[in-house]
Amino acid sequence: MAMLEVEGLTKAFGGVVANNDISFSVEEGEILGLIGPNGAGKSTVFELLTGFHSADAGRVRFQGRPILGLRPDQINRLGMGRTFQKLKPFQRMTVEENVMVGGLQHDADLGAAREQALTALYFVGLLDKRNADAGTLSTGQRKRLELARAMATGPKLLLLDEVTGGVDQRSIPALTELVGRLRSQGTTLIVIEHNMQVLMSLADRILALHLGRKIAVGTPREIQEDTLVIESYLGAAYA
């Protein structure tokens, strides 16, 4: 049984059909990349999977359990975590306190939660900044914080929304390596990315969306050569 099974996921906002009958599955331990030009509906898939919006139609099973209609906090407790494209640090709390919020979901005991939190901070390389206010971090550091926070909840499936977005070139390899290490720890990942180089090295499979529909799924090599995908990004002339 796949860790995540999505069937016929559909969502419309007013007249715009953001997700149109999307179906896919994610196997345990793999990294699934999710690509598509802007407006393809990638973030909407995340919103629906994590309970921030209600789907119009479709079924989603996480580890065999149907999850559509559950609240975000319930879904997180089942083992699915996420980061946000528009970063949401708890500004007036310190880095450590931020990750503690995640850790407390995993362990109600403050001491154990703190251990979880500090380990997550160590993993992403923010340990030395643990007493800084989250509002003072740079973008790259905030991305790491967001990651550590979600990690601290101990998810089996982690949804990463544009990890390298807005991060300068120099720092991308470090972040990429971080995501790779996550997988080697046993976390399954779905990663929305615009940066194809990153996905080429990270993803086992890639799912391509265009205007709300799934247009291709396959290995990175296969996707790179898929005419529909190329067409969606660059136009028919280049297909």
Query: By the criterion CB under 8 A, which residues form the site for another protein?
Result: 50, 52, 71-74, 76-77, 81-82, 84, 88-93, 96-97, 100-102, 104-105, 108, 110, 113-115, 118-119, 121-122, 125, 127-133, 136-141, 144, 149-150, 153, 167-168, 170-171, 173-177, 180, 200-204
Smallest separation (angstroms) from another protein to the CB of 231: 25
Q: Which is nearer to another protein, 25 or 94 (CB)?
A: 94
Smallest separation (angstroms) from another protein to the CB of 229: 19
Smallest separation (angstroms) from another protein to the CB of 66: 19
Burial 154-191 (b: 16+ CB within 10 A, else e): bbbbbbbbbbbeebeeebbeebbebbeebbeeebbbbb
Smallest separation (angstroms) from another protein to the CB of 197: 10
Q: Which is nearer to another protein, 146 or 210 (CB)?
A: 146
Q: Which is nearer to another protein, 96 or 193 (CB)?
A: 96
Smallest separation (angstroms) from another protein to the CB of 177: 5
Smallest separation (angstroms) from another protein to the CB of 100: 6
Q: Which is nearer to another protein, 55 or 150 (CB)?
A: 150
Q: Which of 192, 219, 158, 180 is nearest to 35 (CA)?
A: 192
Q: Which is nearer to another protein, 42 or 210 (CB)?
A: 42
Q: Which is nearer to another protein, 56 or 107 (CB)?
A: 107
Q: Which is nearer to another protein, 129 or 210 (CB)?
A: 129
DSSP letters, the chain, are --SEEEEEEEEEETTEEEEEEEEEEE-TT-EEEEE-STTSSHHHHHHHHTTSS--SEEEEEETTEE-TT--HHHHHHHTEEE--SS----TTSBHHHHHHHHHHHH-SSHHHHHHHHHHHHHHHT-GGGTTSBGGG--HHHHHHHHHHHHHHT--SEEEEE-TTTT--GGGHHHHHHHHHHHHHTT-EEEEE-S-HHHHHHH-SEEEEEETTEEEEEE-HHHHHH-HHHHHHHH-GGG-
Smallest separation (angstroms) from another protein to the CB of 5: 21
